[in-house]
Structure 1
């Protein structure tokens, strides 16, 4: 969220090209990732309100990273198709089960009990374990760092997915929801960048390997409850709260609102209607 806003600020002159971004009508549908951003140490409540109530134009994501991310999510299906089994590293991490069809955020959501606030999300992978419970996995194509500063965000995401999976109703065809979740975890695909192996270089280009690293994530239901209470307290306000001191992301969102104001939109960052 913060990085997107900073990138938007850098290209603020292009904002008027995005006229569809007005005050969001579905601001009370909160994604797992957005709730997770509120768990970061430098979370700014003003930015959180603006991000959810106002929104921001998307920032470009380099095509090569999109391709790598998509490829990593297809590895499991490719292994099942060609070898009729999960990849070997899944077995090494004692992850056994049948992958479920992909969910969609439009229906993979639940009420929170806080006003009209709903939780939504799209897990990267859900396995139906032999005992009938679920294993929820979030893939990360990145170097594994034990002290990853975004770990709180990732932990919230997975905990939100678990809460939705265990409380989703009514049942949907092809899915076991609501269903108990037994395991949550991050599957890092860490790129190996050493180039001292000549077999990785050929006449058409080169190959890059990725090392799988499994990080189990604990259930933290009380923490999610606290974050939801805080999120609703922020979002139910008619105007954004004060921001963190010297928050550059606030400045980026203010620039977004100013550009939209100049383009003739009806709202400001205070939530007031424009004449």
Structure 2
């Protein structure tokens, strides 16, 4: 059997986007159990079957593999903290969360994009995981909400691809589309990222490593919890990135803190220089006053949604 580096294999699998869910149930004593999982998938429409997988080392393994049912809570794009909370160990994950039970007793989380109540259909061996198949007995979903996605080792949100041409005749008839803020922001972001991120390959890093290195470029140590907030990355995946950068000699890890090595600092300085150079080219068509106005306006816009 071919052997792979676990971190590199996970990175390859991360190229496939998955939704983020919290699977819930109750243990033998009736206490609520919950864990974040991105392995949820559909299996059959008739009968209505879904599946997900659980690590054999999970502390809640028996509650899910021996239990009679569970619930799948599909998270919305603004529920990153909920996902992180249920991915941690050693704490009351349900503290402060107003849940209600579905018919099989599993807790349902509030304001999720969708939920599925399931009876356990079968549990199968799957290497270092168990595959749990559930029969859906009830479900609910919200219209016009965006779900949380996991892609390339970080949280993301699904967007309509710019190459997909939706009917725009009515907007164009009113002269609105080309002046619509959401459309302009999306097009600008897509073009900026598509032009900049491929240039990182010349430094031998990917976008996730770039975010961590540039965040630490001031030379000060930073806790993994704080880094996770800034780079929209779950703690486990961030720990993998930290190990990867440590193996490259770019990062030192002390307890819960990351700090750049001298080699890492040199690379971070180059990356910042590259980012500044790229930004200058992108904004070269604007005057200095226009550039500052654009940035300040975007900051004000962000604060308006806080």
When Rg is computed on C-alpha atoms for both structures, the one with the higher figure is: 2
Instruction: Judge same fold: TM > 0.5, yes or no.
Output: no
Structure with bigger RCO (C-alpha 8 Å, 6+ apart):
1
TM-score range, shorter chain: under 0.3
Larger strand fraction of residues: 2
